[in-house]
Amino acid sequence: MANVAVIGAQWGDEGKGKVVDWLASRADIVVRFQGGHNAGHTLVVGGQTYKLSLLPSGLVRGKLGIIGNGVVIDPDALLAEIEKVRAQGLSVGPETLRIAENAPLILPLHGALDRAREGARGDRKIGTTGRGIGPAYEDKVARRAIRVCDLAEPETLSDKLDELLLHHNTLLRGLGAPTFEKRELLDKLLALAPKILPFAEPVWERLDSARKAGKRILFEGAQAVMLDVDHGTYPFVTSSNTVAATASAGSGMGISGVNFVLGIAKAYCTRVGSGPFPTELHDEVGLGLGDRGHEFGTVTGRRRRCGWFDATLVRQAVKVGGIQGLALTKLDVLDGMKEIKVGVGYRIHGETFRRLPAGLRAQAAAEPIFETLEGWSESTRGAKSWADLPAAAVKYVRRIEELIEAPVTLLSTSPERDDTILVRDPFED
């Protein structure tokens, strides 16, 4: 029995919610292992729409959800999300949700610093959500983070807040932003402690026991490979590693705990916020993709930038992300197009590349090299087998497989959970 990690293979928003929900119905445990409440998954189950940011998607299916130590947790956002889904009929309590005791917390000062920095950047904004994720990760690696386990130790909280405020208030003053008082933050954390601590435990022990018992574990990534802090379009990236290898470090599961890595990509490409996007379309075709695909961010609400499928980018994500199979989503959005283009390389200052260089200026200068494929007039929406697809759609998928050097193991043809063509079961060894 295999354990599966699901990661985005583009810039996020690839439709991971539906795929993770589909897989979660067959898993025993679903684990979030990186990111914060700056990413969202939308799930449609039984006519009910759930918008999740921190909670593992498996909770919607009644499965045990785990928030790993690689996630930075805003306790207010978490408690609000729990109440929201409870109001929709879900049962969320310590029996269905566990949180790593060593997970770092996002405090109000993190969000304040995040927003102040973005404001100071002016036209050079990175495009953060302003929710404090980056500053919280900075505190983690600087060894001054307040973690879930610290809520059980008031004296530890008091000492840590002294160091934290010395750092953050200095930065906030320099940016002309309001500073924070220790007493207010300490009282807030002490009030949160009895609400958060019942969920806390050393989740690595639970995962180790589950693995030995043959339980199916699904590791749910946020964002995507091209937003990885090391391998993405830096500095227009998130503040954590989004590749599948992080599932181990971000959960406490050993490196051999992940048996199959499923990457998710749209049949076209989208991006929210700033940063390079070589295959972006600024014309009516791009607007049409956005309208048909309902391209608005789950968390940000921003309209997503749209463009053609970038096979060069996804091939790179396959290599660095450890992707063994691709789930291709939103194929139906391409229905009715006479021709479809695919990015097969870049031209940068007269040179041809089959990779996106790491340098910021080189990325900004990348001009796409397109290959034009035949479109199809028939509908793919709701297809549940290869036989239901137009021949041109099958050719499109096969060409993508060749270009990214990885198989398409799952194909999604509508937002509905069951409108899925399964080629290989990721949970089977």
**Residues annotated as catalytic (active site), given as ranges:** 13, 41
Residues 250 and 278: beta-carbon distance below 8 Å: no
190 Cβ neighbours under 8 A, 6+ residues apart = 151, 154, 157
DSSP alpha helix (H) spans, 373-421: 391-404
The residues facing 66 across adjacent strands are: 31, 98
Q: Strand 29-32 to strand 339-348: parallel, antiparallel, or no bridges (unpaired)? A: unpaired
Determine which helix (DSSP H) or strand (DSSP E) holds 428, and give its type and residue range.
none
Rounded Cα–Cα distance for residues 219 and 29 (Å): 8
DSSP alpha helix (H) spans, 6-124: 16-24, 75-87, 108-121
202 Cβ neighbours under 8 A, 6+ residues apart = 100, 101, 102, 252
DSSP alpha helix (H) spans, 250-380: 284-292, 311-321, 360-365
Closest CA to 258 of 68, 64, 419, 59: 68
219 Cβ neighbours under 8 A, 6+ residues apart = 3, 4, 5, 6, 31, 33, 244, 247, 251, 253, 258
